[in-house]
Structure 1
Amino acid sequence: MILRVFSEGFRIFFLASCLFALVAMGVWEGYLAVDAMGGIAVLAPAQPPHIWHAHEMIFGYGAAALGGFLLTAVPNWTGGKAAPQRFIGLAFLFWFAGRLAMWDSALLPPFWVAVADLAFLPILALKIAAQLLVRPKPQQLIFLLALALFWSANLFCHLEWLGILSDGVEPGLRAGLLTLIAMIVILGGRVTPGFTRNAMVATGREDRLPVNPRPLAVLSIAPALALPPAVLAGLPEIITGLLAILAGSAAVARLTLWRGGWTVRRPILWTLHLSYGLTGLGLLAYGLSNLNIGSEVAALHLLGIGAVGGMTLSVLSRATLGHTGRPLAAPGPVALAYVLMPLAALARYVGSTMPDWHMQASLIAGGLWIAAFALAFTMLIPAWLLPRVPRAPVGKPTT
């Protein structure tokens, strides 16, 4: 069983991302609770608690979710061999070493913290590049650019902690989150209409299927990918604001063409539509905040919880079920998790726009996040640890 969890990328990295989402948020919730009661909470990392929290949710949780998805999807795209078990195990150890180094950063030299935390993504990128170059396609090679942006954003954080940059953490955290958002704009823009179309066709429907016009796709993807380097370069907020508004507007426009209403009775589909919608709305809110309209903190949490949390939970659950031979229908507790995630985003958004309710809303949002991932983890861990379920013969139900 232990070896099986390293046999496929989605098993160990989706398991790790869910578990890390629970542990990291649990630590943050504990810190907030002590603070709310008037106590003095001290966390182990060298960074201020809110910086450690933001960094680990982006570069800890986000990187694990990316690893699980890319190591699973890329071999399917190219028809090549999946990563061997020894590579998956080694990659996981590098990711885990980064998390330990960040937690113990008060006891370690900043240089070695940086080495440990920055090692995982280059190893992942090299493997993904080797697989993609078997059958290179521009629309797939773009993920190497996104991985480079994501790594560079994390590098900016460490350069400040090393004393090399005076202002690297804030742009690094924003650029890291916005790179994850750009990947969601790209990937979500493929899988959401694609999976919906497949499901509709499977029911015999032949008309009014989802459409995904290329011009709208370009209008959403290009500015979304331009946002992280713009933030790292310190471009004026009017530029980053307009880029975010353009990307968000195009994303929302695309969503209206994907027949989301048809998915109401299919949680494993509507969660993709909802998460993509929150991605578009989050980009709009972020763009407006850069133009001094609304709260930037509220917008960033709408992106972090509603978009990243929602879409990664949606994709990891669907991929786990599909790649282990289980029916592509969300179990009840997982469907409930899909509901809790946008509620967590809403609670945190309210907390950022209503200062008097900030602490209460933050605790509620964290509690909903923990509940969502606890439900998903409990239901999906057998799929990660146990063998694939034999698929039922065509024409017979899958059990």
Structure 2
Amino acid sequence: MAMSDVENAKAEPLAIWTIGFRPFFLMAGIWSAVALAGWIAVLTIGLTLPSRFDPLTWHIHEMLFGFVLAAIAGFLLTAIPNWTGRPPISGRLLAALVMLWFAGRVTCLVSAWFPLGLAAAIDLAFPFVLCGVVAREIIAGRNWRNMIMPIPVAMLGVADLLMYLELSGSSLSVGLGWRLGLAAIIVLISVVGGRIIPSFTRNWLIRQNASRLPPAHGHVDSLALVSLLAGMIGWALFPERWPFGWLLLVAAALNLWRLGRWRGPAVGAEPLLTILHAGYLWVIIGAALLGASMLADHVPQAAAIHALTAGAIGTMTLGVMTRVSLGHTGRALTADRITGLIYLLVILAAIARVAAWDGGSSAMLIEISAVLWIGSFGLFVLRYGPILLSPRVKSVDIQPRR
């Protein structure tokens, strides 16, 4: 190899540090499987975690502020260059963000070994630094249309802070932190989903020469968004106030109408699109169940929570991570059989977990759901890890592996 080739190789960063989706999607996949495996080990073999959080709270915390926040970071750091025309966050800054996220995961897991204030500071650093980076890039690019995007990240930081304040003994509503965090994530899914799902569907249908296309954003979309935002925030702040239950039912109906306009049945031949429509359907199911649980004692809130988490968050996260991983590395935007299996496993995991209502089969269904979830995200890491670690391919004319 010539000396110039060696110098060029040294100058080029590793592929994983070139753009945000690469390390953060990989970490999200790994941590989703590992954290859930740890939670199931607590339930089945009595594993003791050296965390200040009790095991259930640690499980909730790490799925929302570990796994999901990593996926959000990967998405935003990849989308912002497209929105602003600025170069992507890469190299040392990207690596520093990943290490900040990782430090939070380790610190939360072993927080019993640290003073509470120090553990909280280390864990909270990532969401607030990420919020600052996102805001800086959008402002520098004068992309005012997307100035709303740092708000959900800031809300997640505040929600995480509330969990630590509750842990310290502050007189907060029990569970306020995680409820607010979940509400922020679901609203973000509704906002982003309302952009990408009809857009991707429209593009695919045009290539198929379809005559009926998803309509442009209209009053239905605005009403659906506002009602869901009000219902989720109302539930987070006042979980016992029954009017918010009715509001969530109205939001579910409006969002079902919204989803119906996006022509989901017409894209059944492409799993990369179908999974996004299915993920948004889980938002609707979760909102409806959550509203019903506030109005009727026989509808358990746990079913609603897991429709939103295992269902909406699980399917939408995998749908976005697989699509972005393929498209932004120059690969064909079509799902192979392994990708289809990833989607099937996460949907079955959500169904099993929501079905685990009070009854003799609940424990078994929870374990089945966990195995399916770990299998889905484990397959994602095995199938897409090499893609995320490898340089972009030169051509999209690649036949997917079947």
TM-score range for the pair, normalised by the shorter chain length: over 0.9
Partner of 1:75: 81
Identity %: 35
Q: What is the CA distance between 1:226 and its match in structure 2?
A: 3.2
Are the counterparts in 1 of residues 205 and 267 from structure 2 also a CA contact under 8 Å?
Answer: no
Q: What is the CA distance between 1:397 and its match in structure 2?
A: 6.0
Which of 330, 345, 349 is residue 344 of structure 1 equivalent to? 349
Where does 1:210-225 land on structure 2 (aligned, <5 Å)?
A: 210-225=214-229
Partner of 1:390: 394
Partner of 2:316: 311
Partner of 2:304: 299
Q: In the alignment, residue 257 of structure 1 is paired with which amino acid?
A: R
Q: Deviations over 1:97-143 (max 9, x none)?
A: 11011100111111011101111011111111122124545542221
Which of 112, 129, 132 is residue 135 of structure 2 equivalent to? 129
Which of 24, 28, 48 is residue 17 of structure 1 equivalent to? 28
TM-score by length of 1: 0.92
Where does 1:263-278 land on structure 2 (aligned, <5 Å)?
A: 263-278=267-282
Q: 1:345 and 1:139, CA in 2 relative to 1: closer, same or farther beyond 3 A? A: farther
User: For the residues of structure 2 that align with 1:57 and 1:104, how far apart are their CA atoms?
Assistant: 16
Deviates more, 1:128-137 or 1:256-265: 128-137
Q: Does 2:15 align with 1:4?
A: yes
User: For the residues of structure 1 that align with 2:132 and 2:215, how far apart are their CA atoms?
Assistant: 34
Q: 1:85 and 1:266, CA in 2 relative to 1: closer, same or farther beyond 3 A? A: same
Q: What is the CA distance between 1:375 and its match in structure 2?
A: 1.4
User: For the residues of structure 1 that align with 2:85 and 2:209, how far apart are their CA atoms?
Assistant: 29
Are the counterparts in 2 of residues 146 and 183 from structure 1 also a CA contact under 8 Å?
Answer: yes
Partner of 2:93: 87
Partner of 1:57: 63
Q: In the alignment, residue 196 of structure 1 is paired with which amino acid?
A: T
Q: Where does the alignment leave 5 or more consecutive residues of structure 1 unmatched? A: 35-39
Partner of 1:366: 370
Q: 1:212 and 1:254, CA in 2 relative to 1: closer, same or farther beyond 3 A? A: farther
User: For the residues of structure 2 that align with 1:95 and 1:250, how far apart are their CA atoms?
Assistant: 36
Q: Where does the alignment leave 5 or more consecutive residues of structure 2 unmatched? A: 1-11
Are the counterparts in 1 of residues 49 and 110 from structure 2 also a CA contact under 8 Å?
Answer: no
Which of 96, 109, 112 is residue 118 of structure 2 equivalent to? 112
Q: What is the CA distance between 1:306 and its match in structure 2?
A: 0.6
Partner of 2:384: 380
Q: 1:134 and 1:243, CA in 2 relative to 1: closer, same or farther beyond 3 A? A: farther
User: For the residues of structure 2 that align with 1:232 and 1:284, how far apart are their CA atoms?
Assistant: 15
User: For the residues of structure 1 that align with 2:262 and 2:14, how far apart are their CA atoms?
Assistant: 40
Q: Deviations over 1:236-257 (max 9, x none)?
A: 5224323422332222111111
Q: In the alignment, residue 332 of structure 1 is paired with which amino acid?
A: R
Q: Does 2:264 align with 1:279?
A: no
User: For the residues of structure 2 that align with 1:267 and 1:387, how far apart are their CA atoms?
Assistant: 25
3-state SS, counterpart of residue 171 of structure 2: coil
3-state SS, counterpart of residue 123 of structure 1: helix
Q: What is the CA distance between 1:54 and its match in structure 2?
A: 0.7
Q: Deviations over 1:30-76 (max 9, x none)?
A: 22222xxxxx4322212111111011001111110000000000111
Where does 1:322-333 land on structure 2 (aligned, <5 Å)?
A: 322-333=327-338
Q: In the alignment, residue 31 of structure 1 is paired with which amino acid?
A: V
Q: In the alignment, residue 263 of structure 2 is paired with which amino acid?
A: R
User: For the residues of structure 2 that align with 1:138 and 1:221, how far apart are their CA atoms?
Assistant: 19
Are the counterparts in 2 of residues 271 and 311 from structure 1 also a CA contact under 8 Å?
Answer: yes
User: For the residues of structure 2 that align with 1:279 and 1:292, how far apart are their CA atoms?
Assistant: 20
Q: Does 2:265 align with 1:261?
A: yes
Q: What is the CA distance between 1:5 and its match in structure 2?
A: 1.3
Q: What is the CA distance between 1:210 and its match in structure 2?
A: 1.3
3-state SS, counterpart of residue 102 of structure 1: helix
Where does 1:139-288 land on structure 2 (aligned, <5 Å)?
A: 139-163=145-169, 165-167=170-172, 170-205=175-210, 207-227=211-231, 229-231=233-235, 233-234=237-238, 237-288=241-292
Q: Deviations over 1:231-286 (max 9, x none)?
A: 45437522432342233222211111111111111100100000111111111111
Are the counterparts in 2 of residues 219 and 246 from structure 1 also a CA contact under 8 Å?
Answer: no
User: For the residues of structure 2 that align with 1:85 and 1:91, how far apart are their CA atoms?
Assistant: 10
- Count of residues paired in the alignment: 388
Partner of 2:7: none
3-state SS, counterpart of residue 369 of structure 2: helix
Q: In the alignment, residue 59 of structure 1 is paired with which amino acid?
A: F
3-state SS, counterpart of residue 142 of structure 1: coil
3-state SS, counterpart of residue 119 of structure 1: helix
